[in-house]
Amino acid sequence: MHFTVKKMLVVSAMFMLALQVWATDSAGQGSLLELQGELVQGGMVIGRAPQGSQVWLNDEVVKVTPDGRFVFGFGRDSENTHQLKIKYPNGTEALRELEVKPRDYDIQYIEGISKKIMSPNEEDLKRIRRENSMVAKARAGASVREDFLETFIWPAKGPITGVYGSQRFYNGEPRRPHFGLDIAAPRGAEVIAPASGKVVLAHNNMFFSGGTLIMDHGYGITSTFIHLDAILVEEGQEVKQGDAIARVGATGRATGPHLDWRINWFNTRLDPQLLMSEPQP
């Protein structure tokens, strides 16, 4: 088993710059629109507008909470320019150009993956498709929970061994980029909920991801935890931030025990590390 992190990302440096920036609207609406978060690939942005405002990102409706909050995010390979449109309750509209910073991604080489996992047979492929659609369905629900407004906390303790966005080579073959934040921890170590939410998927044995748990934090934001040894909660269960939800494992396509934590805004994969304002405990 050979596990190399070629170069850790500049994410730690980005922490320093991640001070939450509140920006105002250039259309003279001043403090009517506030955005908090990083305008960077993989970043999540929380907005606030007057109650009753409507919001569109690139002409797609962004759902707004009853008190005017909303959330959106940018994918790994997001375009640089996005348009945010706000229609205020008084009928006036404001257009805001968002400039999203590109990032450089890591390259990671992982050896020792079994042949079965590297070359799934016909039956495995059917199973993979079925599992992919379960995951997609779990992430597609747009509940009106407002847990995403909480300040996220670290779900596990341990060294970071894999970062968001890295291009991965398994046994020398290029594969899809990695979208999780990997935290190495012993098998059986506790995983806690980084924010409150509702369990929308609890599956003990998926082909690639092994023990897989998805939590809904509302308005399209979900957390996914994979390679789990055990899941301590059930589908439909409400979980509070800090509650024990699972145990770290090495199930599925994993070379050693670690927690792989992912954040999505619907289908868009975000970087969990950008949500963390505190350094790791």
Cβ-based nearer residue to Zn ion, 71 or 275: 275
Minimum CB separation of residue 182 from Zn ion in Å reads 4
Residue number, 74 or 261, with CB nearest to Zn ion? 261
Nearer to Zn ion, 147 or 260 (CB): 260
Residue 138 burial (CB count, 10 A): 22
Region of residue 218 (phi > 0: left; psi between -120 and 50: alpha; otherwise: beta): left
Does 155 contact Zn ion by CB under 5 A? no
> How many of the chain's residues bind Zn ion (CB under 5 A)?
4
Candidates 9-17, 50-58, 70-78, 159-167 — which segment interacts with Zn ion by CB under 5 A?
Answer: 159-167
**Which residue in the set 155, 180, 197, 218 belongs to the binding site for Zn ion (CB under 5 A)?**
180
**CB 258 to Zn ion: min, Å:** 7
- Long-range CB contact pairs, 175-182, < 8 A, 24+: 177/76, 177/105, 178/108, 179/76, 179/262, 179/269, 180/224, 180/226, 180/260, 180/261, 180/262, 180/272, 181/260, 181/261, 181/262, 181/271, 181/272, 181/273, 182/258, 182/259, 182/260
If the CB atoms of residues 158 and 162 are measured against Zn ion, the closer one turns out to be 162
Output 162 or 220, the one with its CB closest to Zn ion: 162
Least Cβ distance, residue 241 to Zn ion (angstroms): 23
- Candidates 97-105, 128-136, 244-252, 253-261: pick the segment binding Zn ion (CB under 5 A): 253-261
Q: What is the token pair recorded at 47?
A: 């907005």
Find the shortest distance in angstroms from Cβ 222 to Zn ion: 16
Report the nearest approach of Zn ion to the CB of residue 146 (Å). 28
Binding mask 259-278 for Zn ion (x = CB under 5 A): -x------------------
| C-alpha separations of 13 from 10, 18, 228, 274 in Å | 5, 9, 30, 11
Residue with CB nearest Zn ion? Answer: 260
Handedness of CA 261, 39, 41, 13 (dihedral sign): negative
Instruction: Provide the β-strand partners of residue 55.
Output: 62, 86
SS3 133: helix
Q: Which tokens is 180 given? A: 């999780």
| Strand 210-218 to 44-48 pairing | unpaired
* Backbone phi and psi for residue 231, each to the nearest 5 degrees, phi listed first: -110, 130
Measured from the CB of residue 84, what is the shortest distance to Zn ion in angstroms? 32
Q: Which stretch binds Zn ion (CB under 5 A): 104-112, 156-164, 168-176, 183-191?
A: 156-164
Phi/psi at 273 (nearest 5 deg)?
-65, -30
CB of 245 to Zn ion, least distance (A): 17
Tell me how far CA of residue 127 lies from CA of 17, 174, 207, 252, in angstroms: 43, 22, 7, 13
- Can residue 182 be called a binding residue for Zn ion (CB under 5 A)? yes
Q: How far is the CB of 178 from Zn ion (least distance, A)?
A: 6
Q: Which of residues 37, 42, 162, 210 is near Zn ion by CB under 5 A?
A: 162
Give me the residues that bind Zn ion (CB under 5 A), please: 162, 180, 182, 260
